[in-house]
Structure 1
Amino acid sequence: MSEWRGRDLGTKTVTYEDTQPILYALAVGAGASDLDLVFEERLRVLPTFALTLAQWAPDALASAGAFDARTTLHGMQRLRALKPLPRSGSVEMKAHVAEVWDKGSAAVFEVAVESDYFEATWSLFAPGRGGFGGDRGPSARRHPDREPDGSLTVQTSPDQAALYRLLGDRHHLHIDPEAAKTAGMPRPIMHGLCTLAAITLPLASSQGAHPADLTELEGRFAAPVFPGDELRVDTWKDAPATLFEAAVDDRTVISAARARFA
């Protein structure tokens, strides 16, 4: 796998109008009363919108033949916001393969994207690509061994995946029941990035922060979330950040998660 480590994935400039960050905000749970997220005259762009702009990078690695996109899973996501995204305009990005970890039965490819506005890393779990004698990589962060400091509820919408896919990730798994069954799911699932971003809105509110003031975010996608599921999010203070895990009933769906607001 040494041929993939450090691989340059090129550069890309993505241009968007203000309708896209507004649509994004609605897709991750903002409401009509959140005027600074959905009204162009007051618009503050959610930092996680950057992840829709950078989706081309992991797709480029799949197209290059590093793994089979049909079986590879999005294992973890990290984001560091450097400065506010414009309401509309162009964002230039460059991407490369930062690391390839050997998990035995699978490989984990880390795709790093950099721009003046943000830095983001996708961890992609590719079955059948491990066993090449490489380093296993770091273990996932565990939450503190104590009771949570707080908890909150996130209610997803039955239509949320259908709306979120208009931002660019149109994988059939998120809309087509037959495609979901082929992937072993009883019905279409939520995008992991949609679920992770949706948590940041009430999480910010619980801390007296604004969701557009998010500076750091990461989380591991532990199990699928279905549109309409209610999430219980447990939180632990880890100043200056907050650690969290999300569950549906007794099933953990997002683990090793961390968020920080300015």
Structure 2
Amino acid sequence: MSTDLTGAGSTGTELTGAAAWAGRALGERTVGYTETDAILYALAVGAPAGDLDLVFEDRLRVLPSFGLTLAQWAPDVLAEQGAFDNRAVHGSQELAVLKPLPRSGEILLNARVGEVWDKGAAAVFNVIVECEYFVATWSLFAPGFGGFGGDRGPSKSAALTEEPLGGASVQTVANQAALYRLLGDRHHIHIDPQAAERIGQKRPILHGLASLASATLPLAELAGAHPADLVQLAGRFAGVVFPGDEITVRTWEGGRFDARVGDQPVLTEGLAVFG
């Protein structure tokens, strides 16, 4: 499959560097899963064994954020194609839910690179995955790949200054990263102490997507909703969570939230809307 790397509808000048990846197709993939996979996911993001709607096949409702594990292959494809190097980090995540995921089955996913923003010292690659059930967008922050003269993209949102409407917490567990990696993200920093040490961490860290999904459980409770009723989710990853940490969330009007471990922010610019 060939991809047009010229400026769409503008001067026709050939794009170079990180800009050349904008709009590139990353392919289609049919991904299957079982009820067991959906239950494992719920447990791996902190659902208690007593929440039968999430962990018992007879009453199962699939958490919408499970779709992010089904689509994880797409940003991995971009990395494998050499768009950036191993300094790149997952900066933020968005999820728009179109309809509930089935309890099991196969889903056709289509992936592409969206906009590529120039932050000067870094580039931000947006990877978009679409299917009939959701649209998910990864923003990947790649140091050393900026400076190509492109649009800077949106700035960070202003810090929330008004008093939060409410707060709650969720307790992660010591084996949570070990469980979550069984769903597909096998990066060594989540299981191997030596790999974690190489990135400056004292021990393996919890996956950012696991932290984000874990936060939706108390957020749903604060909203008086079921976690499977999530229709929109977003968050910027601002710090690490270690398995066993307690994540505290605070909420504001319109579904806005943040999350902390102690006094350290771990999720900012959060949005969780339930139908």
CA RMSD of aligned residues (A): 0.9
Task: Tell whether 2:228 aligns with 1:212.
Answer: yes
**Counterpart selection for 2:146 from 120, 126, 130:** 130
Is 151-160 or 185-194 further displaced after alignment?
151-160
> SS at 2:253's partner residue?
strand
| Residue 75 in structure 1 maps to residue 88 in structure 2 | no
Q: Structure 1 residues 142, 154: CA separation in 2 closer, same or farther (over 3 Å shift)? A: farther
Within the candidate set 146, 163, 170, 2:179 is matched to: 163
> How much does 1:20 deviate?
0.3
Within 5 Å, give how 1:81-230 maps onto structure 2. 81-230=97-246
State the Cα deviation string for residues 53-100 of structure 1 (Å, max 9, x = none). Answer: 0001000101111011x2210000000010111111000010111010
For 2:57, what is the secondary structure of its paired residue?
A: coil
For residue 158 of structure 1, report the CA deviation from its aligned partner.
Answer: 1.2
TM-score of the aligned structures, taking structure 2 as reference length: 0.92
Give the aligned partner of residue 261 of structure 1: 274
Distance in structure 2 (CA, Å) of the matches to 1:88 and 1:249 = 37
Stretches of structure 2 that go unaligned for 5 or more consecutive residues are 1-17
Task: Provide the TM-score with structure 1 as the length reference.
Answer: 0.96
**Match in the other structure for 1:60:** 77
Note if contact 1:143-1:243 (Cα within 8 Å) is conserved in structure 2.
Answer: no
Match of 1:6 among 8, 13, 23: 23
- The number of equivalent residue pairs is 258
Deviation at 1:141, TM superposition (A): 2.5
Say whether residues 1:47 and 2:64 are aligned partners.
Answer: yes
The alpha-carbon deviation at position 2 of structure 1 amounts to: 2.7
Given that residues 156 and 229 in structure 1 are in contact (C-alpha distance below 8 angstroms), is that contact kept between their aligned partners in structure 2?
yes
Query: The residue matched to 1:200 in structure 2 has which SS?
Result: helix
How far the C-alpha of 1:143 sits from its partner, in A, is 4.6
Structure 2 residue aligned with 1:17: 34
Matched residue type, 1:55: Q
Say which one has the larger Rg.
2
| Counterpart Cα distance in 2 of 1:44 and 1:149 | 28
**How far apart are the structure 1 equivalents of 2:62 and 2:234?**
18
> Structure 2: which amino acid aligns with 1:244?
F
- Match of 2:46? 29
CA positional deviation for 1:183: 1.0
